[in-house]
Structure 1
Amino acid sequence: IPGVALAPEYRRFYPAGEVTAHVVGFTNVDDAGQEGMELALDERLRGVPGAKRVIKDRLGRIVESVERVREPQPGEDIALSIDRRLQYLAYRELKAAVRRNRADAGSAVILDVHTGEVLAMVNQPAYNPNNRGKLKRSHLRNRAVTDVFEPGSTIKPFTVAAALETGRFRPQTLVDTRPGYFRVGRKTIRDFRNYGLIDVSTVIQKSSNVGASKLALAQSPEHLWKAFASVGLGESTGSGFPGESGGLLTDYGSWRDIQRATVSYGYGMSVTTLQLARAYAALASDGRPLPVSFVRRTAAEAAELASLYEPVLSESSLRAVRRMMELVVAGGGTGTRAAVPGYRIAGKTGTVKKSGAGGYVEDSYLAVFAGIAPASDPRLVMVVMIDEPRGEEYYGGAVAAPVFGKVMAGALRLLDIPPDDLPSMPGQRLALLHGPAQKTGGAH
């Protein structure tokens, strides 16, 4: 057709679609980053266009190229730390859990304990960056880094670690939680039921608010605050992700007894899902909170970053707390649905009352689970948060823990992380009985 010509036009296509949308983000028609890592790394990805001097006719058509003024410079090739296999696992299980529990939203994050790399980060609801015509603005929000919430009982391991650091408590030290409630000033702190006289390990296993409060009140406000701050609570994770919140950890100078008591079980402070995962990664290693990275990082780079932090919690206290957290997932604990056959899992449940304009809202909850695997030699940390579950159950151990269990089982297998809790098999004993030792007169 005279006067009509074709010109090529390039557009970004995101092959993983919804699965990685909140991490990768998208660009506008001019290829400028608008969300996610497309926005965070825009300057590095964009490159510099070339330029040349040309002669045009009166219709604006180029008739002659005179000289090249500047060579084009392509943007960087950047490898993200996200493992697409783990990302899909987390996406699938989180989406199913949000639907099954008729929840408003949910988030999940998996971190590499040793490098601080984000291996998976998903949110629900999500969006498809390849189909923005039906996009809802609220679905763009990366809740794992922007939305803060009170972490509830998932903070108790840090309270207990701080108590162990005082030297006045051991895992076997008894704490009196009778009669199942405890008055601090004019407020009453309650447990799910009366756990009686229990040791510190059982405070974690049964998730006793009364026990955690008594441990906190036996510490100075400064000591408890330093334990929380030392694992990165109350500050940004250093991820560089657009819109990230640093959460809230108020200065200990303003804490009265009731604040010290309630913060011990995760009220009166706030975190993001990513921030809580970072704190658990510190708990899983040597107590130093590595800055989180969405870009691949070597072990040497991670070690250099770790050297900038001075741990407050000793490795012996952290190991003791991790052993207590294994009881949460074992029989009799609150997080048994997070168990992964063949692996030792350390974790903690949280069931958090949501707050509104007039205070805490009845029958409105967040279900949270944070865990470490394998417990004997931690490699991965995962945090799952489900917002406003409306199914038959709303507890962290019933709603969030199963997501952890299913995703972590797949992640450990995909990453070839060997089991650390295999039972001894009869065949192993038979091999000894009928092996070479028997032929040379060995024991039968």
Structure 2
Amino acid sequence: MNIENSVHIPGKWRFRFVYGIALLLFLVAGGRLFYLTVVDKAFLQNQGEIRAVRTEVIPATRGMILDRRGEPLAVSTPTWTIIANPKALWKLSSDPLLGIGPEVEIARLASVMGVGRTWLQERFEANKNRSFMYLRRQIPPHEADAIMAANVVGVSKTKEYKRFYPAGEVASHVVGFTNIDDKGQEGIELAYDKALVGQPGRRSYVKDLSGNIIRGIGVEETERVGENIELSIDLRLQYLAYRELKAAVTEHRATSASAVILDVKTGEILAMVNQPSYNPNDRSQLDYEQLRNRAVIDLFEPGSTMKPFTISAALMSGQYSTEARINTAPGYLRFGRFTIRDAANYGVIDFEKLLIKSSNVGASKVALSLPQDAIWNMDYELGIGSPVGIGFPGEASGVLPSHPKWHPSEIATLSYGYGLSVSTLQLAQAYMALANGGYRVPVTIFKQDVAAEGKQVIPHKIAKDVVKMMEGVVQRGSGKAAQIPGYRVAGKTGTVHKVGAKGYEYDQYIALFAGVAPASNPRLAMVVMINDPKGREYYGGEVAAPVFSRVMEGALTTLNIYPDLPEGLREVRLQPKKAPYQVVQGG
């Protein structure tokens, strides 16, 4: 039998068989399509959106930095950033005759951005396999709108925030600044970045292949604004101190300077300024040296400004009373080849005259008569040699040397402020404790409603007695230029040789004045440090004391602190005199 004939199917039946198979396949496909588009349409939507949905970060506003009166020191302003999708741009068909293609789009974009076409095209070519590229960051809205009006394929804009500093260079060392990504780089911005930075949110869009938004899906997570930080700084005092310090640096051709004002009762920093400074709103010419917050970083020997604490240690020892007298004759003190000298032979003097004449011999003899660790213990209790602890980056701890056995010359030099080092803030902290009846409260850069718990480091009566002695320095001694009409002022000058590579430099100085006011009931403590004045005047009483006077006078009146001089003396200001001697180890 022929096999072909045995399986032969008539033509019409073969046609029906093929047609039936095709119909069956069509019904299966149609049914599946119906199921996906009608019954289970969410599946297709989800698969499509997986390929087209983009999640966008919602930037969070960084917290503000404010002064104690609510004045803004750092704020964030909204800006726009232009971004591009190079990969989408290079997928365009290119036909120069029809005026389409990546090169044409880049040329249009370069024109509206005001940049070179070749430069922009090279950037796109270098990133052609990427889907993200910055074109221009943090620009004003009108510039962003002009670029977006060109409708260039793959180009879009996103919102960002840019930091602005209303006080400019006046508060730059306190506030610091952020980088273009809104991360803290210096000052409070860096030290408290975690508190200031907000929590970004997220929202989703459906976009086409060119990156254009088709529709919004919704916000997945709402952004959280960063915390505001309220500082203890009073911007009015900050401006005043900055202006006077800058003028003094210019007048005396000094290398640098710093000044700090503290609230005696609360430990709050009311002003902290430095020279040189910088404008955080324009960092195009920024020099690293300008960034230094010298008030907390730079160290120096405090010189004669430490003598009030030597007297405090003497009175605390019980070996001396306020009426004690010290014989400084013959005006010098020898330790082998090392000699300590006064400007003259002052003979027998009391503690007040020791401060007025700034007698190194007197301070040394007092210190040598005490237990060998008495001066060290006094300085340590005042915070010398330890960080103040306000949280600033790079804060220096200072140097307070400790020896198992002290050489007499080491004790002597420590008594008049050599052989140790402090920052301007540390020295202000010590004077704050003395002015506060010997009660040392923690120093803070944040506004305080109630003073933090402190420690009594000098007996109240002794602290008051020493402050009264310091008034004599301003009334009759080297600190006359620190006088303020209507107010009693207590303070101490200091003029210190700078340390060089081979020891002390005898033609380079640091001029200091540390003081408190009003002396009858001190409210403010202030230290002025001027580094390397190069003019004819370089003594602390000539260079630093006048700055103290002008700034402290403005601070007292600004804060409505009532004058404490008797009515008849409130308008009297003694004219400062030049120091009649040329010895700088004293004041």
- Distance (whole Å) between structure 2 residues aligned to residue 55 and residue 193 of structure 1: 87
Q: Structure 1 residue 226: deviation in Å?
A: 1.3
Contact 2:437–2:461 (Cα < 8 Å) also in 1: no
> Is the counterpart of residue 317 in structure 1 residue 468 in structure 2?
no
Cross-structure match for 1:291: 442
Q: Tell me by how many angstroms 1:71 deviates.
A: 2.1
- Partner Cα distance (1:131, 1:231) in 2: 39
Of 453, 463, 474 in structure 2, the residue corresponding to residue 305 of structure 1 is 453
Letter in 2 for 1:263: L
- The answer on 1:2 being equivalent to 2:151 is yes
Code of the aligned partner of 2:225? P
SS in 2 for 1:34: coil
Distance 2:342 2:505 in 1: 18
Separation in structure 2 between the aligned mates of residue 387 and residue 424 of structure 1, nearest angstrom: 38
Instruction: Give the Cα–Cα distance (whole angstroms) in 2 for the partners of residues 312 and 329 of structure 1.
Output: 25
Code of the aligned partner of 2:260: V
Post-superposition offset of 1:147: 0.3
Matches within 5 A, 1:194-205: 194-205=345-356
Aligned amino acid, residue 543 of structure 2: V
Q: How does 1:350-429 map to 2 (within 5 A)?
A: 350-424=494-568
Cα distance between partner residues in 1 of 2:186 and 2:404: 38
Gap runs ≥5 in structure 2? 1-149, 570-587
Structure 1: 4+ residue segments shifted above 4 A: 4-9
Aligned twin of 1:441:
none
Distance 2:554 2:388 in 1: 26
Distance verdict in 2 for CA 1:5–1:60, change over 3 Å: closer
Are 2:474 and 2:489, in contact at CA under 8 Å, matched by a contact in 1?
yes
Counterpart amino acid of residue 305 in structure 1: E
Structure 2 residue aligned with 1:277: 428
Which position in structure 2 is the counterpart of 1:340?
484
> Alignment partner of 1:217: what SS?
helix
The question of whether the paired residues in 2 share the 8 Å contact of 1:27 and 1:33 is answered with: yes
| Paired AA for residue 366 in structure 2 | L
- SS of corresponding position for 1:330: helix
- Verify: 1:95 aligned to 2:246, yes or no: yes
Question: Any conservation in 2 of the 1:82–1:119 contact (CA below 8 Å)?
Answer: yes
User: Partners in 1 of 2:377 and 2:171 — Cα distance?
Assistant: 36
Q: What is the distance in 1 between the residues matched to 2:207 and 2:404? A: 71
Contact 1:226 1:312 in 2 (8 A): no
Superposed CA offset, 1:54-75 (max 9, x none): 4443334444444533221111
Contact 1:287 1:315 in 2 (8 A): yes
Q: Deviations over 1:257-289 (max 9, x none)?
A: 111100101100000001110111011113233
Report whether the alignment pairs 1:219 with 2:370.
yes
Letter in 1 for 2:482: A
For residues 204 and 253 of structure 1, what CA distance do their matches in structure 2 show?
A: 30
Aligned residue-pair number: 418
Residue 260 of structure 1: which of 411, 433, 436 is its match? 411
Note the alpha carbon deviations across 1:216-244, whole angstroms, 9 max, x for none: 11111222211111111111111111110
CA deviations over 1:141-191 (Å, ceiling 9, x no partner): 111100000000001111100000111112221111111111134311011
Match of 1:35 among 157, 165, 186: 186
> What is aligned with 1:206?
357
- Tell me, yes or no, if the aligned pair for 2:479 and 2:493 is still in contact at 8 Å: yes
- Looking at structure 2, the residues matched to 330 and 214 of structure 1 have their Cα atoms a distance apart, in angstroms, of 25
- Residue 142 of structure 1 is matched in structure 2 by 293
Q: 1:8: Cα distance to partner?
A: 4.8
Name the structure, 1 or 2, with higher relative contact order (CA <8 Å, separation 6+).
1
**CA RMSD across the alignment:** 1.5
TM-score where L is the length of structure 2: 0.69
Q: Which residue in the other structure is 1:161 paired with? A: 312
Measured at CA, do residues 312 and 184 of structure 1 come closer, stay the same or move farther in structure 2, by a change above 3 Å? Answer: farther
CA distance in 2, matches of 1:6, 1:61: 11
| Structure 1 residue 51 displacement after superposition | 2.0
Match of 1:105 among 251, 256, 263: 256
How many Å separate the matches in 2 of 1:63 and 1:258?
83
Q: 1:120-199 alignment to 2 at 5 Å?
A: 120-199=271-350
Q: TM-score, normalised by structure 1?
A: 0.91
- Cα distance in 1 between the residues matched to 2:405 and 2:482: 37
Q: Which runs of 5+ in 1 are unaligned?
A: 426-444
2:59 corresponds to which residue?
none
1:51–1:70 Cα contact (<8 Å) kept: yes
Match of 2:107 in 1: none
Contact in 2 for aligned 1:286/1:315 (Cα 8 Å)? yes
Letter in 2 for 1:195: Y
CA–CA distance in 2 between the matches of 1:172 and 1:281? 25
Question: In 1, Cα distance between the equivalents of 2:404 and 2:453?
Answer: 30
SS of the residue 1:161 aligns to:
helix
For the residues of structure 2 that align with 1:216 and 1:101, how far apart are their CA atoms? 35
Larger CA Rg, structure 1 vs 2: 2
Q: Which residue of 1 aligns with 2:27?
A: none
Contact 1:231 1:287 in 2 (8 A): no
Identity %: 55
Answer yes or no: is the 8 Å Cα contact 1:343–1:419 preserved in 2.
yes
Look up the SS of the partner of 2:391 in the other structure: coil
Q: How far did 1:78 drift?
A: 1.2
- Per-residue CA deviation, residues 82-129 of structure 1 (Å, 9 max, x unaligned), is 111111110111001011111101000000011111100111111111
